[in-house]
Amino acid sequence: MTVVDAPPPRLPVRPRPSAEPARGGVSPMLTRLAAERATGALIREHGTLYLAEGRVVHAESPLTPGLDVLLTAHGTLKAEVWHNAVARADERHGAARLLLSGGHLAEGALELCHLGALYDAAYFALAPSSTPGRFRCGIAHRLGPVLPVAVADLEREVLRRRELLRRIWPDARPDSAPLVRTHATAAPGLTLRQRTLLERIDGTRTATDLARELGRQAFHTLVDIRRLAAAGLVAPRDAPGPAGDGETPAFAEQSAYTTDPHITLLKRLRDALEAL
């Protein structure tokens, strides 16, 4: 009798579903809510996005100055006027409508400040997160609608801003760490905004602290801070410096970029050229 060594039959395998095309958005949940024309609040680790029929109508983040700060910090609106409008706001008349009808703000000024605050907060709210977001259906912001923004446009701007910061200076630590000044000579081409920031850097304030203190959008402050970092004028405070008369330690002592100052300079030159 001849014995044939045949391989055992293959076990049946359930066919795998075809993979969905990858989405280019920064938040699949937000993309889905837009497609469903949802109304409510998307709460994430670093901020909240308010939607009405799938479009973003407002955004808030603890890392950015709110619309109230942007409007009141430089005298555009009195703080008591803002608080009164928010206190009187209801489902029919949001705070924005009350401000406009009361003649406290021009419509164009409100729209401009609102869009700036919305994009500013959304940049941080849509940052990579370690916790899942949650959606609360039907929640509305007391401001009321001003200029709704399409989710696709918002996500495109978030990605553009991330790339801009990376091109200016690829190290993201200055975005969130307390900042210190270095002993480098100040660059001659500093803008007034950058000089104002540099004067307030004392080893305790972060970029977002400075933005709130000055009543500026936080993302634009990050842009200035990264440019100062690329010029070698500021650095993140990696460790507390020694007690003394308050002078900032030398850059090589408080920075973890490299121990060789020549390599540090070459890297700064390279990144500055790439950002042109």
Which tens digits make up the pLDDT trace of 9-30? 554 444 443 333 344 568 999 9
Answer yes or no: is pLDDT of 248 > 90.
no
Phi, psi of 221 (to 5 degrees): -70, -40
E strand residue ranges, the chain: 40-44, 47-52, 55-60, 134-137, 149-150, 179-181, 234-236
Q: What is the mean pLDDT of residues 182-193?
A: 79
- Answer yes or no: are the C-beta atoms of 186 and 233 closer than 8 Å: yes
Q: What is the mean pLDDT of residues 59-86?
A: 93
State which amino acid sits at residue 81: V
Residue written as tokens 């009808």? Answer: 101
State which amino acid sits at residue 88: R
d(CA 96, CA 57): 12
Answer yes or no: is pLDDT of 57 > 80.
yes
The structure's pTM equals 0.77
pLDDT, mean over the chain: 82
Beta carbons within 10 angstroms of residue 166's beta carbon: 15
Q: What is the mean pLDDT of residues 220-224?
A: 97
- Answer yes or no: are the C-beta atoms of 90 and 143 closer than 8 Å: no
Q: What is the mean pLDDT of residues 229-243?
A: 74
Q: What is the mean pLDDT of residues 55-62?
A: 96
Higher-confidence position of 150 and 252: 150
